Structure 1
Amino acid sequence: MTRPPPPGRRPVPPNPARDLGVRVLMRVMSGDSFAAPALDTALHAAQLPARDAGLATHLVYGTLRHHASLRAALTPMLDAGTHPKVWTLLLAGTFEKLYLDTPAHAVVSEYVNLARDARLAPPGLVNAVLRRVEAAPVSPASELPEWLADTFRDAYGSQADDVMASFLDPQPLWLSLSDAGVATLEAEGSLVTPGVQGADRVELSRPLRETEAYRTGQAQPINPASLACVAALGDVNGQRVLDLAGGAGIKAAMLAARGADVTSVDVQPGRHAAARRNLKRLNLHATLITHDLTGPLDVEPAALVLLDAPCTGTGTLRSHPEIKLRLTPDGVEQAAALQARMLHTAAPLVSAGGTLVYSVCSVTPQEGPDVVEAFLNTHPDFRAADLPALDVPHVPAGPGVLTVPVDGIDGFFIARLQRR
């Protein structure tokens, strides 16, 4: 017969935020999912209070952003056969101890309880390790694979250290807002700070989907660098625009809001479903076509074409830190090969005298300048053209520019090509 615990010694149930955060991290670090969808799904199912949801979010993203330094701190205390579940729990606990304001004794207690109740790790090991672990001194560059840190140094020169440090900061919320959207958010107690490129930086008083601005179509989440891709087309009012590789239709919505007649093309029908829901929420319209852009597309050419090609996402490490744990140089080359095929498909869709904007949310030269330069060498009817003035900070990059990913802005390569 099992004896009840002595009075005053009953284990305290683990905080649900930590339980959720560790389980999401297990999925992400095993390669089963990306952080954003895994966390969103888990939070939606758990319906945690706002404070606990915030803690879970900090644990997931903070642990991934600081993964290299956390692992360096833990490695001397763990052997090579330590189970991945144990590693994940200790990484999260070490992040909370070293980077959040939680008292050390509380961190030890919480993660020992979580290890015991969820059977994720030996409680004695968790207790011993979290009591002893100390920060391993590293630079922001050390949080990246060496080849990727060198990529940022080559891309941004003297600004590279600031860029790599900025990737360790939490991602702010950027919203494209109407005047009514600003007013309703502020009336609800949210803080709206004017940003750049038509996006405002917002600190919400409640979850975004519960705000009146979002529900009534007065707010659209989008990074300023993504809006810079739209701005690179110039004035789109009254113009027919082809939005290639349009994904969930966010840029299509921004183009439609600016008065364009938009046709958005993507290979995944599921993304069109998300685009339709979002366009309906915003009271906007776009034509949606499902097509694999590695092959010819039978539509009438347009004077304005945007190809925001799928890429490795190296300019979005702040909001997608798991990328740096998975990406390899071979992955960059594979992405560049796909982008080259899609750019070739886009060429005949641009009418004579028209404009083709090519963009990727990556800063590797293979996916940006190299793809465009190879395209120009094989398509003499196109030339690189100057970009309209962009509000986001940017630096030259061959036939285009790179936005500088600091202060919550993503890193994009953007080139504007003119057909003769």
Structure 2
Amino acid sequence: MRKPNRPPPAKAQAEPDPPGTPARRAALKLLDAVLRQGLPLEAALGAANGLPNPSDRGLARAIASEVLRRLPDLDALIDETTDRVLPDDAKARFALRIALVQALALGTPPHAAIATALPLVDGGPRRLVHGVFGTLMRSGATLAEPPHLLPEVAERWSKAWGEEAAEAARANFSDRPPLDLTLADPSATAEWAEKLGATSLMPGHLRLDNADVTSLPGFEEGAWWVQDVSASLPARLIGRGEGTALDLCAAPGGKTMQLAAAGWQVTAVEMAAKRLARLSDNLARVNLSADLVEADVMRWEPQEPADAVLLDAPCSATGIFRRHPDVLHRVRPRAVADLAEVQRAMLARAAQWVKPGGHLVYAVCSLEPQEGEDVASAFTAPGFAIDPVCPEELPVGLAPNDQGFVRIPPGSLAQVGGCDGFFIARWRRDS
């Protein structure tokens, strides 16, 4: 007798992901983009833009940023709990990083942290991830405070600036940076400090605890713009003037706005169209104007020399590590050397565009001496001499070095909330 045909057994339906899993998947993509592809976190945010809920997009970014800030400490916990060291790019390691940073640093309940991380393993060793996480939770594991810097970064900065500066950088690493504002009218510093409940490190500067920028008094009328106090110094060192000024590599526009507010006729050069559009929007908000040029500085040249030239050169950006911890994971010695070569070429080119009697200012938001001191010390051009920066041109707590250059090392101004790392040099062309 023939057996009746029977339908094949139905496949078991996969359990739906727990609520909140899409944000963790986006965080995984962000971390992969930074740690495996070497992309800046900002450039990778498209992975989170597909999330319909703005709070999920913010959560994905917060998780990724905190993993990058605490990566050495997270990996130390994982490695001391597993029998065999997981590969750096293993999904199990990424999932554990994401689960642990939520439970130990972001205040997520452990059961939610692990439930939303397990789907990231995608058929891999879920039992391993669950077991390692559970072991660490039961043992009362904690993360170091403040977080440890990457070993290679700590070694590099200790060699360049001393162990005390490297420790100061680590101490500031977990602190939330304050909100710095630059005023269009420095003479109104006291008035705006009172309105906003802010402190001031120098005329034209205000410092607040973090706040919703767009809701603060003065935003709509363009009385100020957001700019770290360190980033405001290069344009300050040019001062007020009525002549022409070039702002090279100008976006997002803080220095362009400073120069325009100080009376200069500014030409701002930026090669990235999107960044130039953002600069244009910023100028419109603060009711200032400048000639905007979309061009590569190494291929463009002005019709005539200018009275002041400001080159805020492309760099490793390690000085902004507090706000953007991803920079520490992307910068390698070879990249620093390559950037320094570009900076030297840009500086030599920019010097050709300075009128006799004019000023040239070079700046980088880098904590690597190859991009700062080494580039400035090697600069030579006929008619140029160092115009030493005076202590009274800087906030209290910062000072020029013996050459008259400004180096802002890690941990500077820590007693008042810290600031970004920078290097700035100024020359005058006498002939």
Q: Please tell me the TM-score bracket, short chain as reference.
A: 0.7 to 0.9
1:256 corresponds in structure 2 to 260
User: Is contact 1:301-1:350 (8 Å) kept?
Assistant: yes
Which residue of structure 2 lines up, in the alignment, with residue 124 of structure 1? 127
2:277 aligned residue: 273
Does the CA contact (< 8 Å) of 1:241 and 1:303 recur in 2? yes
Q: Given the alignment of the two structures, is residue 100 of structure 1 paired with residue 126 of structure 2, yes or no?
A: no
Compute the displacement of 1:292 (Å): 2.5
**Partners of 2:285 and 2:348 in 1: how far apart?**
34
Distance 1:42 1:181 in 2: 39
Matches within 5 A, 1:379-394: 379-388=381-390, 389-391=393-395, 393-394=397-398
Give the conservation status (yes or no) of the 8 Å contact 2:98–2:117. Answer: no
Query: What's 1:91 paired with?
Result: 97
Question: Are residues 181 and 129 of structure 1, via their aligned partners in 2, closer, same or farther at CA, if it must alter by over 3 Å?
Answer: farther
2:64 pairs with 1:60: yes
1:301-339 Cα offsets, whole Å, 9 max, x none, are 122111111111121111221121121111111111000
2:115 match: 112
Structure 2 counterpart of 1:410: 420
Question: CA offsets, 1:121-174, max 9 Å, x none?
Answer: 64433321112233576985x522436533355235633311232133333333
CA distance in 1, matches of 2:111, 2:129: 8
- State the AA in 2 paired with 1:86: A
Query: In the alignment, does 2:240 pair up with 1:230?
Result: no
Query: 1:211–1:46: structure 2 CA closer, same or farther, 3 Å change rule?
Result: farther
Alignment-mate amino acid for residue 41 of structure 2: A
Question: For residues 199-249 of structure 1, what are the alpha-carbon distances to aligned partners after superposition, in whole Å with 9 as ceiling and x for unaligned?
Answer: 43344564x45667545434422111110111111223x232111121332
Which stretch of structure 1 is more off in the superposition, 52-61 or 83-92?
Answer: 52-61
Q: CA deviation at 1:402?
A: 1.1
Q: Identify which of 281, 291, 299 aligns with 2:295.
A: 291
TM, length-normalised to structure 2: 0.80
Corresponding residue to 2:206 among 193, 197, 200: 200
Instruction: After superposing the two structures, state which structure 1 stretch, 60-69 or 124-133, moved more.
Output: 124-133
Match of 2:35 among 29, 35, 46: 29
Which amino acid is 2:110 matched to? V
Instruction: State the 1:367 CA deviation.
Output: 0.9
Structure 2 counterpart SS, 1:354: strand
Aligned match for 1:159, one of 149, 159, 165: 165
Q: 1:53 to 1:169 in 2, by over 3 A?
A: farther
Cα offset for 1:20?
4.0
Structure 1 residue 46 corresponds to structure 2 residue 52:
yes
Match 2:339 to one of 335, 348, 365: 335
Give yes or no for contact 1:59–1:96 (8 Å, CA) kept in 2: yes
Give the match for residue 361 of structure 1. Answer: 365
Secondary structure of 2:352's partner? helix
CA, structure 1 residues 45+173, in 2 after alignment: closer, same or farther (shift >3 Å)?
farther
Q: Distance in 1 between matches of 2:171 and 2:124?
A: 32
Q: Which amino acid aligns with 2:274?
A: G
| Contact persistence 1:395–1:404 (CA under 8 A) | no
**Which ranges of structure 2 fall in alignment gaps of 5 or more residues?**
1-9, 412-416
One-letter amino acid of the counterpart of residue 415, structure 1: A
The 2-side partners of 1:83 and 1:419 are apart by: 52
For residues 255 and 217 of structure 1, the distance between their equivalents in structure 2, rounded to whole angstroms, comes to 15
TM-score, normalised on structure 1? 0.82
- The CA deviation at 1:115 is 2.1
1:221 & 1:41 partners in 2: Cα distance?
A: 26
Residue type of the partner of 2:113?
A: E
For 2:190 and 2:28, how far apart are their aligned partners in 1?
36
Closer/same/farther in 2, CA of residues 373 and 224 from structure 1, 3 Å limit: same
Identity %: 31
Q: 1:196–1:152: structure 2 CA closer, same or farther, 3 Å change rule?
A: farther
Amino acid in the other structure paired with 1:46 = P
Quick one: which amino acid aligns to residue 127 of structure 2? G
Distance apart, 1:99 and its partner CA: 2.6
Amino acid corresponding to residue 310 of structure 1 in structure 2:
P
Between the two proteins, the alignment pairs up a number of residues equal to 404
Q: Is the 1:85–1:120 contact (alpha carbons within 8 Å) kept by the matching residues of 2?
A: no
Shift in alpha-carbon separation, 1:340–1:280, aligned structure 2, 3 A: same
Secondary structure of residue in 1 paired with 2:428: strand
CA distance in 2, matches of 1:115, 1:185: 49
Amino acid at match of 2:225: Q
Alignment of 1:286-325 (within 5 A): 286-295=290-299, 297-325=301-329
What amino acid sits opposite 2:346 in the alignment? M
Larger CA Rg, structure 1 vs 2: 2
**CA–CA separation in structure 2 for the residues paired with 1:186 and 1:127:** 53
**Which whole-Å CA distance do the structure 1 matches of 2:402 and 2:295 have between them?**
30
User: Residues 72 and 136 of structure 1 are in contact (CA less than 8 Å); yes or no, is this contact kept in structure 2?
Assistant: no
- How far apart are the structure 2 equivalents of 1:217 and 1:120? 53
Q: Are the counterparts in 1 of residues 230 and 419 from structure 2 also a CA contact under 8 Å?
A: yes
Aligned 8 A contact 1:264 1:289 in 2: yes
Q: What per-residue deviation string (whole Å, max 9, x for no partner) do you get for residues 170-208 of structure 1? A: 333333356999999999xxx7532434343344564x4
Change (3 A) 1:135 1:153: farther
